[in-house]
Amino acid sequence: MSRSYRLRTGYKFGLRVPEDSKEAYEIDKENGDTFWTDAITKEMQNVYVAFDVKGPGEKAPPGYKHIPYRLIFEIKLPSQEKLD
């Protein structure tokens, strides 16, 4: 991964920010929670409607091309409206 895409510290707002999905699952296992797993699941549910996702070893149909995905992890603060 290019350096320009990585956080220098790996932490934001006191939470460790993963560089890839493998690290996200490892962080969840270390912390004993599902914070990043839930975030990945929510995001994939939103984007799967636009793609025909194939399993490991399945090839794209003729005329189509395999496009790998990359997740970028970020932590956002809740908006002020939600805090009231």
pLDDT digits (tens, 9 = 90+) for 40-80: 999 888 887 777 777 778 888 888 887 777 888 988 877 65
pLDDT digits (tens, 9 = 90+) for 2-15: 555 554 558 888 88
Token representation of residue 30: 């270390």
Pair 36, 25: CB distance under 8 Å: yes
